[in-house]
């Protein structure tokens, strides 16, 4: 499928989400049905149990940067098992902890992490998660990171419905004053237990949803980063190293790879990068594109950022596509200060 064809499919899905359209097939109803059956078999095969271990990473990172009278930055993680950190044993290995410690080091300010993401969540759970994230109007997050989409595909949620829920979540968070970065649907074709030809169908369905998510999120004022094969060819080349013991969720090394790719976009959203780094670099094939084309290109290349660039014109909205350089993470695993009792508690984990 060409980039233009992918862009048209993504635009149709996003338009259906915006205007109440029905379920537009990702890879054909019969093919998706087979994909779902295979994915469910894979999940049983990898032992994805009903009580998955998710480390509690919430707390204060970079406490050494505390300055009296200067509040900590607030980071909230929303979404599914990828955002929650299922698959690792220690809190400091979770993606939220990695991002919080990375932002703290770059901003030289402490960062308070709160996680409302839960394993098994689909995009229709985002409304509840956003309500938790905004429960205290005096503590609106400075930045929210949403990682969601894989369960939408395997649970056969119509993509228009999936994008509608994500767009609503981004709009609510932006209206409240939070910056938003969305890690779009990961490439399910990298899951080892899913066999060919369904692995190809999984990749196609994942990328179509990821592109449509990008359009929906960017049009509501968010930024997106393509998770693709979980942010790097390393996952396709070294699945046994970068996937966890269940071969389904990322390992500690995999989450670190993902966090290194998302961190620059989070910092850009917070205004922590020099202005010159926000301009497109032709040498890195960055530039301004219609949002649907930018979304299609980003879905095909992990780690690619898309953000709104220009007001909507005769040809629709435009976006800036960037391929940011990955930033290293702090070497030492942080030991977070436990969250205060007033912080919203993480909801009960679901299967997924």
Per-residue pLDDT of the chain (352 residues; tens, 9 = 90+): 556 665 666 666 655 555 454 444 444 444 555 555 555 555 554 444 445 678 899 999 999 999 999 999 999 999 998 899 887 888 988 999 999 999 999 999 999 999 999 988 999 999 999 999 999 999 999 999 999 998 888 788 888 999 999 999 999 999 999 999 999 998 876 665 555 566 667 778 888 999 999 999 999 999 999 987 654 344 455 554 444 454 456 677 778 888 888 999 999 999 998 877 888 888 889 999 999 899 989 988 888 999 998 766 666 689 999 998 776 666 544 556 555 544 444 444 444 4
Q: What is the pTM of this model?
A: 0.82
Residue 229 near residue 300, CB atoms below 8 Å: no
Residue 129 near residue 173, CB atoms below 8 Å: no
Residue 269 near residue 112, CB atoms below 8 Å: no
pLDDT at 188: 74
How far apart are alpha carbons 150 and 281 in whole angstroms? 31
DSSP-derived 3-state class of residue 156: coil
DSSP-derived 3-state class of residue 189: helix
pLDDT at 274: 82
Torsion of CA 169, 173, 178, 180, to 10 degrees: 10
Q: Which residues pair with 175 in a beta bridge?
A: none
How far apart are alpha carbons 168 and 182 in whole angstroms? 13
User: CA separation (Å) from 18 to 14, 221, 307?
Assistant: 6, 15, 18
Pull the structure tokens for residue 203. Answer: 């990749």
pLDDT at 317: 81
DSSP-derived 3-state class of residue 332: coil
How far apart are alpha carbons 47 and 19 in whole angstroms? 39
Cis-peptide, bond into residue 197, ω within 30° of zero: yes
CA angle 321, 303, 75 (to 5 degrees): 95
How far apart are alpha carbons 235 and 258 in whole angstroms? 10
pLDDT at 113: 97
DSSP 133-182: HTSSGGG--SEEEEE--HHHHHTT--HHHHHHHHHHHHHHHHHHT-EEEE
DSSP-derived 3-state class of residue 80: coil
Pull the structure tokens for residue 25. Answer: 């097939």
Residue 152 near residue 162, CB atoms below 8 Å: yes
pLDDT at 347: 46
Residues annotated as catalytic (active site), given as ranges:
81, 246, 249
Q: Which helix (H) or strand (E) holds 150?
A: helix 150-154
How far apart are alpha carbons 323 and 304 in whole angstroms? 5
Pull the structure tokens for residue 307. Answer: 């953000």
Closest CA to 317 of 306, 326, 329, 327: 306
Q: Which helix (H) or strand (E) holds 112?
A: strand 111-115
Q: Give the number of residues written for the chain.
A: 352
DSSP 232-275: STHHHH-HHHHB-TTSSSB-HHHHHHHHHHHHHHHHHHTT-S-G
């Amino acid at each position: 499928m060409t980039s233009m064809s992918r862009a048209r499919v993504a635009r149709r899905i996003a338009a259906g989400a915006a205007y109440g359209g029905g379920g537009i097939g990702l890879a054909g109803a019969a093919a998706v049905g087979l994909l779902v059956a295979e994915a469910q078999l894979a999940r049983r095969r990898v032992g994805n149990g009903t009580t998955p271990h998710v480390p509690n990473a919430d707390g204060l990172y970079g406490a050494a940067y505390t300055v009296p009278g200067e509040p900590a930055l607030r980071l909230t993680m929303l979404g599914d098992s990828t955002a929650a950190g299922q698959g690792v044993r220690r809190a400091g290995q979770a993606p939220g902890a990695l991002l919080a410690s990375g932002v703290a080091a770059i901003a030289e300010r402490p960062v308070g992490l709160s996680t409302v993401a839960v394993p098994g969540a689909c995009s229709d759970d985002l409304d509840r998660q956003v309500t938790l994230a905004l429960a205290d109007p005096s503590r609106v997050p400075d930045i929210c990171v949403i990682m969601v989409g894989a369960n939408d595909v395997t649970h056969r949620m119509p993509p228009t419905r999936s994008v509608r829920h994500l767009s609503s979540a981004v709009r609510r968070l932006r209206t409240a004053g939070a910056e938003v970065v969305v890690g779009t649907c990961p490439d399910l074709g990298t899951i080892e237990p899913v066999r060919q030809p369904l692995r190809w169908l999984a990749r196609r369905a994942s990328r179509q949803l990821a592109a449509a998510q990008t359009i929906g999120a960017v049009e509501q004022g968010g930024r997106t980063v393509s998770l693709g094969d979980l942010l790097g060819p390393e996952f396709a080349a070294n699945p046994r190293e970068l996937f966890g013991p269940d071969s389904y969720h990322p390992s500690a090394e995999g989450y670190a790879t993902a966090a290194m790719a998302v961190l620059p976009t989070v910092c850009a959203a917070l205004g922590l990068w020099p202005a010159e780094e926000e301009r497109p670099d032709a040498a890195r094939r960055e530039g301004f594109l219609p949002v649907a084309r930018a979304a299609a290109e980003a879905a095909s290349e992990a780690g690619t950022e898309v953000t709104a660039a220009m007001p909507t014109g005769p040809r629709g909205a435009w976006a800036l596509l960037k391929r940011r350089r990955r930033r290293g993470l702090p070497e030492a695993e942080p030991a977070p200060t436990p969250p205060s009792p007033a912080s919203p508690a993480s909801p009960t984990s679901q299967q997924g």
